[in-house]
Amino acid sequence: MTSTTAFTLTRQSPHFGAHVTGIDLSSVDTSTAAEIRAALLEHKVLFFTDQSLDAERHIEFANYFGETTSSHPVMPALDSEHPQIWEIDSTDPTARNDAWHTDVTFVARPPMGAVLRAVQVPDVGGDTLWADLEQAYWSLSKPVRDLVDQLDAEHDGSHEFGDYLAQYGGNDWDGATVKRLDPVVHPVVRVHPETGRPALFVSPWFTKRIIGVSEAESRGILDLLFAHLTKPEHIVRHRWQQGDVAMWDNRNTMHYATLNYGDFHRVMHRVTIAGDVPIGIGR
Ligand SMILES: O=C(O)CCC(=O)C(=O)O
Ligand SMILES: [Fe+2]
Protein backbone atom coordinates (compact mmCIF):
# COMPACT_ATOMS: atom_id res chain seq x y z
CA MET A 1 0.00 0.00 0.00
CA THR A 2 1.29 3.45 -0.85
CA SER A 3 -0.17 6.78 0.10
CA THR A 4 -0.35 10.07 -1.67
CA THR A 5 -1.63 13.28 -0.20
CA ALA A 6 -5.06 12.95 -1.82
CA PHE A 7 -5.98 9.25 -1.54
CA THR A 8 -4.87 5.76 -0.63
CA LEU A 9 -3.94 3.35 -3.37
CA THR A 10 -3.88 -0.45 -3.06
CA ARG A 11 -2.32 -2.34 -5.94
CA GLN A 12 -3.76 -5.54 -7.42
CA SER A 13 -0.45 -6.41 -9.06
CA PRO A 14 2.85 -4.51 -9.40
CA HIS A 15 1.86 -2.45 -12.45
CA PHE A 16 -1.76 -3.24 -13.24
CA GLY A 17 -4.95 -2.43 -11.40
CA ALA A 18 -5.34 -0.44 -8.18
CA HIS A 19 -8.12 0.35 -5.73
CA VAL A 20 -8.34 3.98 -4.75
CA THR A 21 -9.92 4.86 -1.42
CA GLY A 22 -10.26 7.96 0.72
CA ILE A 23 -11.50 10.14 -2.12
CA ASP A 24 -14.88 11.53 -3.15
CA LEU A 25 -15.04 11.79 -6.94
CA SER A 26 -17.84 14.33 -6.77
CA SER A 27 -15.48 16.97 -5.34
CA VAL A 28 -12.14 16.51 -7.06
CA ASP A 29 -9.88 19.50 -7.72
CA THR A 30 -7.16 20.03 -10.32
CA SER A 31 -4.30 18.87 -8.13
CA THR A 32 -6.15 15.69 -7.07
CA ALA A 33 -7.01 15.04 -10.72
CA ALA A 34 -3.30 15.34 -11.57
CA GLU A 35 -2.51 12.70 -8.94
CA ILE A 36 -5.25 10.43 -10.31
CA ARG A 37 -3.79 10.84 -13.79
CA ALA A 38 -0.33 9.87 -12.51
CA ALA A 39 -1.85 6.81 -10.81
CA LEU A 40 -3.67 5.89 -14.01
CA LEU A 41 -0.44 6.08 -16.02
CA GLU A 42 1.22 3.78 -13.50
CA HIS A 43 -1.61 1.27 -12.88
CA LYS A 44 -3.70 1.54 -16.12
CA VAL A 45 -7.02 0.75 -14.44
CA LEU A 46 -8.26 2.32 -11.22
CA PHE A 47 -11.27 1.28 -9.12
CA PHE A 48 -13.05 3.80 -6.89
CA THR A 49 -15.53 2.31 -4.42
CA ASP A 50 -18.08 4.02 -2.13
CA GLN A 51 -18.90 6.66 -4.73
CA SER A 52 -22.20 8.35 -5.44
CA LEU A 53 -21.70 10.31 -8.65
CA ASP A 54 -24.73 11.44 -10.62
CA ALA A 55 -24.67 11.96 -14.38
CA GLU A 56 -23.46 15.58 -14.12
CA ARG A 57 -20.67 14.83 -11.62
CA HIS A 58 -19.63 11.84 -13.71
CA ILE A 59 -19.10 14.04 -16.78
CA GLU A 60 -17.44 16.73 -14.67
CA PHE A 61 -14.95 14.20 -13.26
CA ALA A 62 -14.08 12.81 -16.71
CA ASN A 63 -13.54 16.36 -18.02
CA TYR A 64 -10.45 16.71 -15.78
CA PHE A 65 -8.63 14.20 -17.97
CA GLY A 66 -9.24 15.61 -21.44
CA GLU A 67 -11.99 16.44 -23.83
CA THR A 68 -14.96 14.14 -23.40
CA THR A 69 -16.42 12.60 -26.56
CA SER A 70 -19.99 11.93 -27.56
CA SER A 71 -21.48 8.72 -26.10
CA HIS A 72 -19.99 6.61 -28.89
CA PRO A 73 -19.40 7.12 -32.64
CA VAL A 74 -22.65 5.29 -33.34
CA MET A 75 -24.58 4.33 -30.21
CA PRO A 76 -27.06 6.95 -28.91
CA ALA A 77 -26.51 8.98 -25.75
CA LEU A 78 -28.42 8.58 -22.49
CA ASP A 79 -30.50 11.68 -23.36
CA SER A 80 -30.12 15.12 -24.92
CA GLU A 81 -28.88 16.64 -21.63
CA HIS A 82 -26.06 14.11 -21.40
CA PRO A 83 -24.65 13.58 -24.90
CA GLN A 84 -21.39 12.26 -23.37
CA ILE A 85 -23.01 9.34 -21.52
CA TRP A 86 -23.34 5.94 -23.11
CA GLU A 87 -25.83 3.92 -21.08
CA ILE A 88 -25.28 0.18 -21.22
CA ASP A 89 -28.54 -1.37 -19.96
CA SER A 90 -28.97 -5.14 -19.88
CA THR A 91 -32.64 -4.86 -20.87
CA ASP A 92 -31.38 -3.70 -24.28
CA PRO A 93 -30.07 -6.81 -26.06
CA THR A 94 -27.71 -4.68 -28.17
CA ALA A 95 -25.92 -3.43 -25.04
CA ARG A 96 -23.38 -6.22 -24.74
CA ASN A 97 -19.67 -6.05 -24.36
CA ASP A 98 -18.91 -9.73 -23.87
CA ALA A 99 -15.94 -9.75 -26.22
CA TRP A 100 -12.39 -8.60 -25.51
CA HIS A 101 -11.83 -5.14 -26.89
CA THR A 102 -10.05 -1.86 -26.56
CA ASP A 103 -12.73 0.82 -26.96
CA VAL A 104 -13.44 2.30 -30.39
CA THR A 105 -10.17 1.31 -32.09
CA PHE A 106 -12.06 1.34 -35.41
CA VAL A 107 -11.58 5.11 -35.79
CA ALA A 108 -8.43 7.14 -36.53
CA ARG A 109 -8.27 8.56 -32.98
CA PRO A 110 -9.45 5.99 -30.44
CA PRO A 111 -10.24 7.22 -26.91
CA MET A 112 -7.43 7.77 -24.39
CA GLY A 113 -9.60 6.37 -21.65
CA ALA A 114 -13.00 6.06 -20.09
CA VAL A 115 -14.79 6.43 -16.77
CA LEU A 116 -17.41 3.75 -16.14
CA ARG A 117 -19.99 3.97 -13.34
CA ALA A 118 -22.08 1.10 -11.98
CA VAL A 119 -25.65 2.44 -11.86
CA GLN A 120 -27.47 -0.85 -11.30
CA VAL A 121 -25.51 -3.89 -10.22
CA PRO A 122 -26.87 -7.43 -10.65
CA ASP A 123 -27.22 -9.53 -7.47
CA VAL A 124 -24.68 -11.91 -8.94
CA GLY A 125 -22.41 -11.93 -11.98
CA GLY A 126 -21.57 -9.11 -14.39
CA ASP A 127 -17.93 -8.65 -13.38
CA THR A 128 -15.68 -6.77 -15.80
CA LEU A 129 -12.17 -7.93 -16.67
CA TRP A 130 -9.26 -5.85 -17.96
CA ALA A 131 -6.05 -7.07 -19.61
CA ASP A 132 -2.68 -5.32 -19.42
CA LEU A 133 -1.44 -4.97 -23.01
CA GLU A 134 1.88 -3.49 -21.91
CA GLN A 135 2.69 -6.52 -19.78
CA ALA A 136 1.42 -8.73 -22.61
CA TYR A 137 3.95 -7.10 -24.94
CA TRP A 138 6.87 -7.71 -22.58
CA SER A 139 5.84 -11.30 -21.83
CA LEU A 140 6.20 -12.21 -25.50
CA SER A 141 9.55 -13.72 -26.47
CA LYS A 142 12.05 -11.28 -27.99
CA PRO A 143 11.84 -12.70 -31.54
CA VAL A 144 8.03 -12.34 -31.53
CA ARG A 145 8.29 -8.81 -30.11
CA ASP A 146 10.71 -7.97 -32.92
CA LEU A 147 8.19 -9.27 -35.43
CA VAL A 148 5.13 -7.49 -34.06
CA ASP A 149 7.03 -4.19 -33.63
CA GLN A 150 7.02 -3.88 -37.43
CA LEU A 151 3.38 -4.76 -38.09
CA ASP A 152 0.21 -2.80 -38.71
CA ALA A 153 -3.34 -4.11 -38.39
CA GLU A 154 -6.73 -3.22 -39.72
CA HIS A 155 -9.51 -2.38 -37.22
CA ASP A 156 -13.11 -2.52 -38.35
CA GLY A 157 -16.27 -1.70 -36.38
CA SER A 158 -18.71 -2.09 -39.27
CA HIS A 159 -19.67 -5.71 -38.50
CA GLU A 160 -20.65 -4.68 -34.97
CA PHE A 161 -21.99 -1.16 -35.44
CA GLY A 162 -22.89 -0.90 -39.15
CA ASP A 163 -26.54 -1.81 -38.56
CA TYR A 164 -26.81 0.65 -35.67
CA LEU A 165 -25.26 3.37 -37.84
CA ALA A 166 -27.96 2.74 -40.43
CA GLN A 167 -30.62 2.73 -37.69
CA TYR A 168 -29.57 5.73 -35.55
CA GLY A 169 -27.28 7.76 -37.81
CA GLY A 170 -23.83 8.59 -36.46
CA ASN A 171 -22.81 10.92 -33.62
CA ASP A 172 -20.17 13.63 -33.69
CA TRP A 173 -16.71 12.16 -33.30
CA ASP A 174 -13.38 13.89 -33.71
CA GLY A 175 -15.00 17.02 -35.16
CA ALA A 176 -17.28 15.41 -37.74
CA THR A 177 -20.53 13.46 -37.88
CA VAL A 178 -19.85 9.75 -38.37
CA LYS A 179 -21.41 8.68 -41.67
CA ARG A 180 -19.39 5.58 -42.49
CA LEU A 181 -17.37 3.02 -40.59
CA ASP A 182 -14.45 2.49 -42.93
CA PRO A 183 -11.68 0.26 -41.57
CA VAL A 184 -8.60 2.02 -40.17
CA VAL A 185 -4.99 0.88 -39.78
CA HIS A 186 -3.09 1.13 -36.48
CA PRO A 187 0.34 -0.17 -35.41
CA VAL A 188 0.25 -3.57 -33.68
CA VAL A 189 2.58 -2.16 -31.03
CA ARG A 190 1.69 1.30 -29.83
CA VAL A 191 4.02 3.67 -28.02
CA HIS A 192 2.16 5.32 -25.16
CA PRO A 193 2.05 9.07 -25.88
CA GLU A 194 2.60 10.02 -22.23
CA THR A 195 4.90 7.32 -20.82
CA GLY A 196 6.74 6.33 -24.01
CA ARG A 197 6.21 2.67 -23.10
CA PRO A 198 5.19 0.14 -25.78
CA ALA A 199 2.06 -2.03 -25.57
CA LEU A 200 0.24 -4.37 -27.89
CA PHE A 201 -2.64 -2.58 -29.57
CA VAL A 202 -4.77 -5.38 -31.01
CA SER A 203 -7.92 -6.96 -29.57
CA PRO A 204 -10.31 -9.62 -30.83
CA TRP A 205 -13.48 -7.60 -31.32
CA PHE A 206 -12.21 -5.02 -33.81
CA THR A 207 -8.78 -6.09 -35.08
CA LYS A 208 -9.47 -7.98 -38.27
CA ARG A 209 -6.18 -8.58 -40.09
CA ILE A 210 -2.49 -7.89 -40.21
CA ILE A 211 -1.49 -5.73 -43.17
CA GLY A 212 1.05 -6.89 -45.77
CA VAL A 213 1.07 -10.62 -44.94
CA SER A 214 -0.98 -13.53 -46.28
CA GLU A 215 -4.41 -14.30 -44.88
CA ALA A 216 -3.07 -17.49 -43.25
CA GLU A 217 -0.14 -15.60 -41.71
CA SER A 218 -2.49 -12.87 -40.49
CA ARG A 219 -4.82 -15.39 -38.86
CA GLY A 220 -1.87 -17.21 -37.27
CA ILE A 221 -0.32 -14.03 -35.86
CA LEU A 222 -3.63 -12.70 -34.51
CA ASP A 223 -4.58 -16.07 -33.00
CA LEU A 224 -1.22 -16.23 -31.26
CA LEU A 225 -1.56 -12.68 -29.91
CA PHE A 226 -5.21 -13.02 -28.88
CA ALA A 227 -4.50 -16.21 -26.92
CA HIS A 228 -1.48 -14.57 -25.30
CA LEU A 229 -3.25 -11.34 -24.27
CA THR A 230 -5.70 -13.09 -21.97
CA LYS A 231 -3.22 -15.15 -19.95
CA PRO A 232 -4.33 -14.93 -16.28
CA GLU A 233 -1.12 -13.04 -15.43
CA HIS A 234 -2.32 -10.13 -17.58
CA ILE A 235 -5.84 -9.87 -16.10
CA VAL A 236 -7.61 -8.05 -13.28
CA ARG A 237 -11.27 -8.63 -12.53
CA HIS A 238 -13.71 -6.29 -10.82
CA ARG A 239 -16.82 -7.37 -8.89
CA TRP A 240 -19.04 -4.29 -8.99
CA GLN A 241 -20.81 -2.64 -6.07
CA GLN A 242 -23.49 -0.02 -6.64
CA GLY A 243 -21.86 3.34 -7.44
CA ASP A 244 -18.37 1.96 -8.15
CA VAL A 245 -16.36 3.81 -10.74
CA ALA A 246 -13.64 2.30 -12.91
CA MET A 247 -11.29 4.39 -15.00
CA TRP A 248 -8.96 2.87 -17.56
CA ASP A 249 -6.23 3.88 -19.92
CA ASN A 250 -7.54 2.77 -23.32
CA ARG A 251 -4.07 3.00 -24.92
CA ASN A 252 -2.62 -0.07 -23.24
CA THR A 253 -5.55 -2.14 -21.94
CA MET A 254 -8.54 -4.07 -23.20
CA HIS A 255 -11.61 -5.26 -21.31
CA TYR A 256 -14.51 -7.72 -21.28
CA ALA A 257 -17.93 -7.44 -19.60
CA THR A 258 -19.06 -10.90 -18.48
CA LEU A 259 -22.59 -11.79 -19.53
CA ASN A 260 -23.39 -14.13 -16.63
CA TYR A 261 -26.11 -12.40 -14.60
CA GLY A 262 -29.20 -14.13 -15.98
CA ASP A 263 -32.26 -11.89 -15.72
CA PHE A 264 -30.75 -9.55 -13.14
CA HIS A 265 -30.74 -5.94 -14.23
CA ARG A 266 -27.35 -4.37 -14.93
CA VAL A 267 -26.88 -0.72 -15.94
CA MET A 268 -23.55 1.02 -16.54
CA HIS A 269 -22.80 4.58 -17.65
CA ARG A 270 -19.63 5.33 -19.58
CA VAL A 271 -18.03 8.70 -20.27
CA THR A 272 -15.23 8.58 -22.82
CA ILE A 273 -12.15 10.79 -23.10
CA ALA A 274 -10.74 11.70 -26.53
CA GLY A 275 -7.33 10.34 -27.52
CA ASP A 276 -4.55 10.57 -30.12
CA VAL A 277 -3.63 8.86 -33.35
CA PRO A 278 -1.71 5.70 -32.26
CA ILE A 279 2.02 5.80 -33.08
CA GLY A 280 4.13 2.67 -33.55
CA ILE A 281 7.68 1.92 -32.42
CA GLY A 282 10.33 3.93 -34.29
CA ARG A 283 7.77 5.58 -36.57
O1 LIG B 1 -20.29 -3.13 -18.99
C2 LIG B 1 -19.09 -3.14 -18.69
O3 LIG B 1 -18.67 -3.56 -17.62
C4 LIG B 1 -18.07 -2.62 -19.67
C5 LIG B 1 -18.70 -2.18 -20.93
C6 LIG B 1 -17.68 -1.66 -21.91
O7 LIG B 1 -17.13 -2.37 -22.69
C8 LIG B 1 -17.37 -0.23 -21.88
O9 LIG B 1 -17.93 0.50 -21.05
O10 LIG B 1 -16.54 0.21 -22.68
FE1 LIG C 1 -15.68 -1.23 -23.81
Nearest atom of ligand 1 to the alpha carbon of 103: 10
How much distance in Å is there from the Cα of 245 to the middle of ligand 2? 14
Instruction: Kindly state the average pLDDT of the residues 62-89.
Output: 96
The pTM is what? 0.97
Give whole-number Cα distances, 256 to 62, 120, 158, in Å. Answer: 21, 18, 19
Confidence of residue 168 (pLDDT cuts 50, 70, 90): confident
**What integer pLDDT is reported at residue 283 of this predicted model?**
82
Question: Which residue in 140, 156, 259, 264 sits closest to 203, CA to CA?
Answer: 156
Protein residue with least CA distance to atom 10, ligand 1: 103
Handedness of CA 146, 147, 151, 153 (dihedral sign): negative
Confidence check: pLDDT of 74 > 60: yes
CATH 3.40.50.10540 applies to domain 2-273: no
How much distance in Å is there from the Cα of 239 to the middle of ligand 2? 16
Which one of the ligands is nearest to 102 CA? 2
> Which residues does a 6 A CB cutoff place in the pocket of ligand 1?
88, 97, 103, 114, 116, 128, 255, 257, 268, 270
Instruction: Kindly state the average pLDDT of the residues 166-177.
Output: 92
Confidence of residue 1 (pLDDT cuts 50, 70, 90): low
Protein residue with least CA distance to atom 9, ligand 1: 270
Say how far apart CA 96 and CA 259 lie, in whole Å: 8
pLDDT tens digits for 201-244?
999 999 999 999 999 999 999 999 999 999 999 999 999 999 99
Nearest atom of ligand 1 to the alpha carbon of 116: 9
**What integer pLDDT is reported at residue 88 of this predicted model?**
97
Q: What DSSP string describes the chain? A: -EE-SS-EEEESSSSS-EEEES--GGG--HHHHHHHHHHHHHHSEEEE-S----HHHHHHHHGGGS-B--S-SSSPPS-TT-TTEEEEETTSTT----S-B-TTTTSSS--SEEEEEEEE--SS---EEEEEHHHHHHTS-HHHHHHHHT-EEEE--HHHHHHHHHHH---EETTEE------EEEESEEE-TTT--EEE---TTTEEEETTS-HHHHHHHHHHHHHHHT-GGGEEEE---TT-EEEEETTSEEEEE----TT---EEEEEEE------BTT-
Q: Which residues contact 124 (CB under 8 A, 6 or more apart)?
A: 261, 262, 264
Task: Pick 131 or 169 by higher pLDDT.
Answer: 131
Nearest atom of ligand 1 to the alpha carbon of 266: 1
Say how far apart CA 60 and CA 4 lie, in whole Å: 22
Give whole-number Cα distances, 222 to 154, 214, 229, in Å. Answer: 11, 12, 10
How much distance in Å is there from the Cα of 150 to the middle of ligand 2? 27
Q: What is the phi-psi region of residue 104: left when phi exceeds 0, alpha when psi lies from -120 to 50, beta otherwise?
A: left
**Which of 92, 255, 273 gets mutated to test ligand 1 (max ligand atoms within 8 A of its CB)?**
255
**What integer pLDDT is reported at residue 94 of this predicted model?**
80
| Proportion of the chain above pLDDT 70, given as a percent | 99
**What integer pLDDT is reported at residue 2 of this predicted model?**
52
Instruction: Kindly state the average pLDDT of the residues 124-142.
Output: 98
Protein residue with least CA distance to atom 4, ligand 1: 257
Confidence of residue 4 (pLDDT cuts 50, 70, 90): low
Q: What residues act catalytically?
A: 101, 103, 255, 270
Which one of the ligands is nearest to 120 CA? 1
Confidence check: pLDDT of 18 > 80: yes
Confidence check: pLDDT of 157 > 80: yes
Nearest atom of ligand 1 to the alpha carbon of 256: 7
Protein residue with least CA distance to atom 2, ligand 1: 257
Q: In the Cβ-directed half-sphere of 99, how many Cα atoms lie within 13 Å?
A: 14
pLDDT tens digits for 29-48?
999 999 999 999 999 999 99
How much distance in Å is there from the Cα of 145 to the middle of ligand 1? 29
